């Protein structure tokens, strides 16, 4: 039996689910269902998710166009940067998903899309970054966002890969979320964790393996590594007691500590959101595949 490609309507639902689950999960240091922080509140993230889902799932647009349109839609509902990293990761995944009939086709399709990115994609993306006004960007020696790009979006991301994990994902074909994030989520689910706690487990795995680059840019390498080490501690301890959910008090205390110090592992949260989009897509493709 012939299968159909995923539809824009199905993709929109996947985007919304992934964003809502990411912000609902009690990830230490991030705004979540149990705790606001960093001068932002839960509702801003939920509103942002509803704004970007129909834009990113639209058929026909290129990656750069999706990114800019999504940030423009976000700015219509919130006046702060709630989702730039999410949008940067979701846009190529969404374009790839619309070309696929099965989940196994997704990463190969994504690789082709990333390799075909243009200077125009970079122009749209630079405009989106300027509109989002993210904190802690710093000044790049080459292809800074304040100047018109002369390289393709993937080439520009490759220049930034050592200071930004999202840029590194573009350069490495999203290997971190496919090879570490998704398997970690599945492992936690098999251990009996809920979606929310499985997302936290994947978040801690990602954070422990790739020290958060938002923290690095704002506070330096030492603090970023300390946070990564603490995440690794919780991962190791959770494996010994068959789950994170039994450590909620300790994780809540760490969440409070991070927010009191204005330490936000925001890049790791964005990676977690992208991983959750993979989870949603995997489930959706399973429905349409024979």
CA distance 223 to 216: 7
pLDDT, residue 3, reads: 63
Residue 1 has pLDDT above 50, yes or no: no
Note the pLDDT tens digit of each residue in 175-221. Answer: 999 999 999 999 999 989 999 999 999 999 999 999 999 999 999 99
- Is there a contact between 148 and 125 (Cβ–Cβ < 8 Å)? no
Domain boundaries, the chain: 8-182+269-288
For range 154-166, the mean pLDDT: 93
Instruction: Give the separation between CA 10 and CA 152, rounded to whole angstroms.
Output: 30
* Model confidence pLDDT, tens digit, residues 98-152: 999 999 999 999 999 999 999 999 999 999 998 987 654 445 445 556 678 889 9
pLDDT band at 290 (very low <50, low <70, confident <90, very high): low
pLDDT of residue 287: 87
- Comparing 17-26, 35-44, 139-148, 196-205, the range with the smallest average pLDDT is 139-148
Q: In angstroms, rounded to a whole number, what is the distance separating the alpha carbons of residues 192 and 14?
A: 22
The average confidence (pLDDT) of the chain is 90
The predicted-structure confidence for 243-267, as pLDDT tens digits, reads as follows 787 888 999 999 999 989 999 999 9
- pLDDT tens for 101-115 read 999 999 999 999 999
Q: 8-182+269-288: which CATH number, 2.40.50, 1.10.4200, 1.10.287, 1.10.20? A: 1.10.4200
Burial pattern 217-254, b for ≥16 Cβ within 10 A else e, equals bbbeeebbeebbebbeebbeebeeeebbbebeeebeeb
% of the chain at pLDDT higher than 70: 90
The residue with tokens 């122009």 is: 123
Place of tokens 């409070």: 256
Closest CA to 61 of 17, 108, 121: 121
């Amino acid at each position: 039996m012939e299968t159909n490609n995923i539809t824009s309507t199905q993709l929109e639902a996947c985007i919304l689910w992934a964003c809502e689950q990411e912000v609902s999960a009690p990830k230490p240091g991030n705004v979540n269902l149990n705790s606001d922080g960093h001068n932002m509140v839960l509702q801003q993230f939920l509103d942002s998710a509803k704004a970007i889902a129909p834009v990113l799932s639209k058929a026909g647009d290129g990656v750069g166009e999706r990114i800019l349109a999504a940030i423009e839609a976000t700015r219509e509902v919130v006046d702060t940067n709630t989702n730039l990293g999410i949008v940067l990761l979701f846009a190529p995944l969404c374009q790839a998903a619309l070309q696929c009939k099965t989940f196994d086709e997704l990463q190969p399709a994504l690789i082709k899309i990333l390799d075909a990115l243009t200077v125009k994609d970079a122009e749209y993306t630079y405009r989106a970054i300027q509109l989002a006004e993210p904190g802690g960007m710093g000044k790049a020696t080459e292809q800074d966002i304040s100047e018109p790009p002369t390289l393709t979006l993937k080439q520009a991301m490759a220049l930034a890969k050592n200071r930004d994990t999202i840029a590194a994902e573009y350069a490495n074909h999203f290997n971190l979320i496919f090879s570490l994030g998704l398997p970690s989520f599945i492992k936690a689910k098999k251990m009996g964790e809920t979606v929310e706690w499985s997302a936290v487990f994947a978040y801690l795995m990602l954070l422990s393996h790739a020290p958060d680059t938002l923290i690095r840019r704002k506070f330096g390498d030492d603090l970023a590594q300390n946070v990564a080490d603490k995440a690794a501690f919780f991962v190791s301890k959770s494996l010994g007691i068959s789950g994170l959910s039994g450590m909620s008090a300790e994780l809540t205390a760490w969440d409070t500590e991070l927010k009191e110090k204005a330490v936000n592992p925001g890049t790791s949260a964005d990676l977690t959101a992208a991983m959750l989009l993979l989870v949603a897509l995997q489930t959706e493709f399973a429905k349409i595949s024979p």
